[in-house]
Structure formats: C-alpha cells, structure tokens
Structure 1
Amino acid sequence: MKAVTVVPGVPESLRLRDVNRPSPGRGQVLLRPVEVGVCGTDKEIIEGKYGKAPEGSQYLILGHEALAEVAELGQGVDNVGVGDLVVPTVRRPLDCDLPVDFCPVGHYLEHGIWGLHGHAAEYSVTDAQYLVRVPKELADVAVLTEPLSVVEKGIDMAFRIGQARFDWKPRNALILGAGPVGLLATMVLRLMGLNTTTVATRPPESLKARLVRDIGGKYVDATIEQVTGEFDIVVEATGSWKVAMDSVRNLAPNGVYVLLGVYPSGGSMQGVGDLMTQLVLNNRVIVGSVNAGLKHFELTLEHMRQARSQFGDWLSKLITKRVTLDNYQEAYSWTHDDIKTVLEIRTS
C-alpha cells in the first residue's frame, strides 16, 4: 500500500513509500482513511524539528487528523462496525493512569507524530476504544474534528476555571490568528453567544476576514501592538511567543487566557515581572491545550451540527485545498492564504 512518510530528524525526507498493509490486533481496527488534514505539526516533522518513528521502523507515516472508514475488526471489538465512518483520537497512554490527553510528556504515543504510524496511508490501524463515530451528514467536514477538539478543550477549560471561582459570565473574546485554529475558536465562541474579535494580518477583503464576519464576528487587520481593549477570554492561535506575551495585557480582570499552540524556544523575558504581577493582582488565569480526548471530540461533533444549522456551509469553506495521494507533495506546501489543506486518500 502507499503511505506518506518521513524519516524523523532528517529534513525534507518526505516521500511516498510502498509499505506493508497492517493487520489489527486484539482491540484494534483496520481503517481505510478517507481524508487526512495537514497542519503545522506536520511541517515541523518534515523540517526535521520533531517526530519519532515507531520502534523498529526507520520511518514515520504522517497523518494525525483523519476521517476513516472501518475496514476490519480485530478480536474483541464491539463498539464500531465495518463500514462505520470514524475519527481516531491522536494519543495513546504509556504508563499513565490519567485521561490520555492529560498524560505528561514521555508518557504517551501519538499517531503520525511520536512513536505511532499515522493515517496518511491507504490503510492504518488504531485502538477501537479511541474512535469517535461520525454521522454521515458531517462527513464532508469531519476531517476538521481533531483540530476543533483542541479548541473545544481549551475553551471548555477556560469556562470551567472561570466558573469555579464565581458565577463567571464572559461576554467578550479576543482570538489571535485567523488560521484554522483561530477560525474554529471564533466559531465555537460565536456559537456560545460571545462577542468575538479576531485579529490577524490579512487584509479585510481576504477570505479569512470574510469568514469571521460571516458568523457575526469582528475582524481586525492589525498587529497585537495595535489592539486595544480588554477581553474576558483571549485565545492565542498564532504560535508566536511575542504575540502571546504582548496580548496578556488585553485580558480583563478575572479573565482566562487560552494558549492553543506550541511555541518556539527563545524570546525576551523583559517585562515578565510586571506581566506576572498583573496576572496575580487581577486574578487572571492562563491555560493551554494542544491535545484532546474522547469527550471533546464528541463535543466537537455537536458543535459541528450546530454550526451547520446556524452558519450553513461555513465549515466547509475552511478547507481551501484538496490534494490526491498521488500528488501528495502539494499538500505539504503552505501559503499565507491557505486555511486547511486536506489530503484525499480515497477518492471513490
């Protein structure tokens, strides 16, 4: 079978390989991937900055954002059936009794990222207990489930933390970045009834700006230094440490700041003492989310249904590029105007 692979740690080792078709073990299923989403983590792995191949393999099959069809059941599987459309979660625990999305670094494997092959292949295997069944009416956008689940977890934690302190009722939200994560965060917060302002450095006539306005959000073409006002929730989705640091000042007293990314090393600590003091004096909270479990995957599907009802085909507009497996290299090139690229594994 064909699979999109890299050699972790070796820059630009991306290639389409012929590899052996896997077989499901006990408690596992064989998947026939339909679509795989491409994201910044894939870019870092291709650049040799991150990633780990499974034990005994010289390469890693990419693909952690997937929509797939169940092709075969391993022994003991009874929660899904052959032909079901499913989305697999990403992480699998290693010596960790916590919910898998709260296991510390070093105590989990990740499909297509760390120690487990991903789904950018004609077939893949995964544990049946980590599958979420997808209704057919959401099949055209279900490949967005994994990135949306990370957003759902971050926002859910923000509300839980805020409401644990007092009867917290946020009204205004600031979203930094209008890539797929920023736009999905805008959608969730609009569905929850918050006034949202999404900031990015794309022109007001761009698709990203229009998508924000289409669901009732306010779009601002600006750098973070130009953003004024205070917001009950701030969602950072640029991956820039400077934007993250500078925008803490936009968090209102008693507000919650949500980090939705992994940030590069380096940066200046100048002014961090004042920033920390303001966090303490104003009861501000910072929380991060980069992975989610079954609960938030299921919440994702509910919000997809709501978005379909309230915003029509808005979610499908986030998928701006579709590439077939034979032309896989086109899927792993990025421009500022791309939102979500999808690799189509099965086209029939």
Structure 2
Amino acid sequence: MKALAVRPGEKQSAHIAEMPTPRLSDVPGGRGVLVRTLQVGVDATDAEINEALYGAAPAGEEFLVLGHEVFGIVEEVGPNVTHIRPGELCTCTVRRPGPTIYDLIGRNDVTSDETYYERGINLLHGFMSEKFVDDAEFIVRVPDGLRHLGVLAEPASVCAKAIEQAFLAQHRLQVWRPEIAFVMGAGQIGLLTTMMLRLRGMKVYTIARTQNPGLKEEIVNAYGGEYVSTRETPLADLVREVGRPDLVIEATGSSRVAFECMEIMNLNGVLVWTSVTGGDNRLQDVPADRINLEWVLGNKLLVGSVNGNRHHFAQGLADLALGEATFPGVTERILTNPIDGFGDPAEIMRQLTDDKSALKVYVKVADA
C-alpha cells in the first residue's frame, strides 16, 4: 500500500513510500484493530519533521510515515476486542508506552523516559497510509454524529489535556475560579481551546497577528470570545484594558511569545505552554529579575502540556459534541484546506507552510 513518508534528517524529503498492507496478526493477543484511513490532519509538527528539525524513523527503517491526526473506520477486530466493532468510526492516540511507571499505568503522555514513541513523529510510523493496525488500547471510538469533525479529534485532545492540566495543578489553591483567559494563537489549537474555555464559562480573548476582519475573528466571535490582533492592539495595551488573565494557553509556535506571556499573568495564575519549537532561538531581552520576583510573590504557575491519552481524546470528543450543540456549524469552519489523496507530497507541504489563510490542512485518503 502507499504511504506519505519522510527521511528524517533530510530536509524536504516528503515522498510516497510503498509499505506492506497491515494485518490483525501484527498485534499479539487478539487485540488488533484494522482501520481504513479516511482523513489525516497535517500541522506544524509535520512541516517541522519535513524540515528535519526533529523526528526519527523506526529502528531499522530508512523512512518515517507521517500523520498523527487520524480519522478512520474499523474494518476488522481481533477476538479479544470488545469496545469497538467493524463499521464504527474511530481515531487513535499518538504516544505509545515506554518503560517508566507512568507508561505502565497508561499515562504514556507523561512518560519520564527521554526516549518517547509517537506514531508519525518519533520512532513509530504514522497514519498517513491507506490502512493501519493498532492495539485496541489506543483506539478511540468517534460518534457517527461527529463524522464531519472526526479529523479534529487529536488536536481536540491536546486542548482538552492542556485545560485539564491547568485545573488539576490549581488544586494547590483549594479555590480557583478563573474569569479571564487569554488564548495565544488562532490556529486549530487556539480556536478549539477558545471553544472549550467558552463552554466552561470564561471570558476568552484569542490573540494572534492576523488583522481583522477575517475567518479567525469570525470563528472566535461565533464562539462568544473576542479576537484581538496584536498588529492592531499590542498585548500590553490589551492587559491595561481588560486586566491580567487568570489562565493563558499558549499555542503560537513561537518561543518568544511563550516567554512574553510570563510577563502578563495575574496573581495565582497559570500559564500552559503547548507549543513545540524545534529551532535554536535565544532571547536577550527577557526581564528575568522582574519575572522571577512577580512569579514567586504571585504564586504563579507554568505547566508544559503535550500529547494526550485516551481519556483526553474522549474529553476532546465530548467537547466537540457540546460545542457543536452550543455553537452549531462553527467548528467545521476550521477545516479550510481539504486535499484529495496524498499523491503530491509537495502540494500538501506547500499548503501547510505557504497558505497563510489555512487553518486546517487535511488529507482525504478515502471517502468518509
């Protein structure tokens, strides 16, 4: 079968590879699930892997199959699979267990081992192929009513985990009721986070560089948030106008913005970093003394959040469903750039990196 792959360490190496068709027997114990791939989302992670910033092929392989945001339909299951059946829609978690205690209890997303295994990212082939097989433990059912949003399951899980991590960490305060939230970035993660925080009753300001009016502003406003372009309103001016945020979810992909967020947090606030920055930028103008002082005296918290386990996938799907009921038709507008088939890797990467109007690029591998 065909798959979209890269040669890790070689820039712009995206190409079509040939692979054996997977079989249920590839997973031991009768727990295999064979899935026909319907759609696969691509994002900045895929672009950075194609630029050789990170990523590694499976042991003994020359290439890495891309794709960690998958939506598919189950074709066949092993005899010991009970929670999903052939014909049902599904998605799949990304990280696989390592040797640590966290991996052993199902918290692969917070492994303490420096070597991590992620499908389509590091040491494991991804889902950008016609079919794939995996252990039932990592397969998450997608309700049929979310068929049109199924390709957003993985990014929704990232948002759900980031929000969960903030609230879990803030149990340290006994009482924490955040009122103002800043979402930094208005890509798919920023927009989905905006929706989820609005569902939780917060006043949300979604902050990005793109000037108004535009699709990002329309989606944020439809969720009941307020879109702020930093080209029109600098971050410091916004803080003076509306106050310091109790919660900031940073999703810009910019390490500079991630550090700038540390300067604006409210007392007892929490900042969640979700960006993965593969470069080597160094900042010379960070007011380190003032940040250190204010964070200590203000009991502020910084949390890094990456990946999600099946619980976060389930929560993300639940939020997608509630968001669809609360804001009908809004989330689907994020799906801006469908691509039919992965026959032209260069075009996929071009849309991902060069089309500044794209919110979500995704490949339609088969009819959904």
Structure 2: unaligned runs, 5 residues or longer: none
- 2:246 match: secondary structure: strand
Choose from 274, 285, 292 the match for 1:260. 274
**Sequence identity (%):** 35
Q: Which moved more, 1:299-308 or 1:215-224?
A: 215-224
1:241 is displaced (CA, Å) by 1.4
Aligned to 1:12: 12
CA contact (8 A) 1:79 1:129 kept: no
The runs of at least 4 aligned residues of structure 1 exceeding 4 Å deviation read none
1:16-61 deviations in whole A, cap 9, x for unaligned? 1232112232222221111000011100111111111112211111
Distance 1:79 1:67 in 2: 17
1:246 is displaced (CA, Å) by 1.5
Q: Which moved more, 1:311-320 or 1:104-113?
A: 104-113
Aligned residues: 348
Counting only pairs closer than 5 Å after superposition, residues 178-257 of structure 1 correspond to structure 2 as 178-222=186-230, 223-228=234-239, 229-257=243-271
- 1:139 match: secondary structure: helix
CA contact (8 A) 2:100 2:113 kept: no
Aligned to 2:133: 125
CA contact (8 A) 1:224 1:243 kept: no
Bigger proportion of residues as strand: 1
Correspondence 1:324 to 2:328: no
CA contact (8 A) 1:6 1:15 kept: yes
Choose from 79, 86, 91 the match for 2:83. 79
Normalised by the length of structure 2, the TM-score is: 0.91
Distance 1:11 1:235 in 2: 31
1:255-293 deviations in whole A, cap 9, x for unaligned? 111111113333225422321221110011011111111
1:79-99 deviations in whole A, cap 9, x for unaligned? 322222111000001212211
Counting only pairs closer than 5 Å after superposition, residues 85-96 of structure 1 correspond to structure 2 as 85-96=89-100
Distance 2:167 2:264 in 1: 18
1:185-226 deviations in whole A, cap 9, x for unaligned? 111101111000111111211101111111111111114454
Aligned to 1:286: 302
CA contact (8 A) 1:180 1:340 kept: yes
Q: Which moved more, 1:337-346 or 1:260-269?
A: 260-269
Choose from 52, 68, 72 the match for 1:68. 72
1:108 is displaced (CA, Å) by 3.0
Distance 2:179 2:249 in 1: 14
Which amino acid is the alignment partner of residue 48 of structure 1? A
Distance 1:277 1:137 in 2: 50
Choose from 313, 321, 324 the match for 1:305. 321
1:107 is displaced (CA, Å) by 4.3
CA contact (8 A) 1:96 1:107 kept: no
1:70 is displaced (CA, Å) by 1.4
Distance 1:143 1:304 in 2: 11
Aligned to 1:341: 361
CA 55–75 in structure 1, closer or farther in 2 if over 3 Å, else same: farther
1:116-151 deviations in whole A, cap 9, x for unaligned? 111111011211111110110001101111111111
Give RMSD over aligned pairs: 1.5
Q: Which moved more, 1:10-19 or 1:58-67?
A: 10-19
Q: Which moved more, 1:124-133 or 1:262-271?
A: 262-271
1:328 is displaced (CA, Å) by 4.4
Which amino acid is the alignment partner of residue 299 of structure 1? Q
Distance 2:260 2:356 in 1: 22
Normalised by the length of structure 1, the TM-score is: 0.96
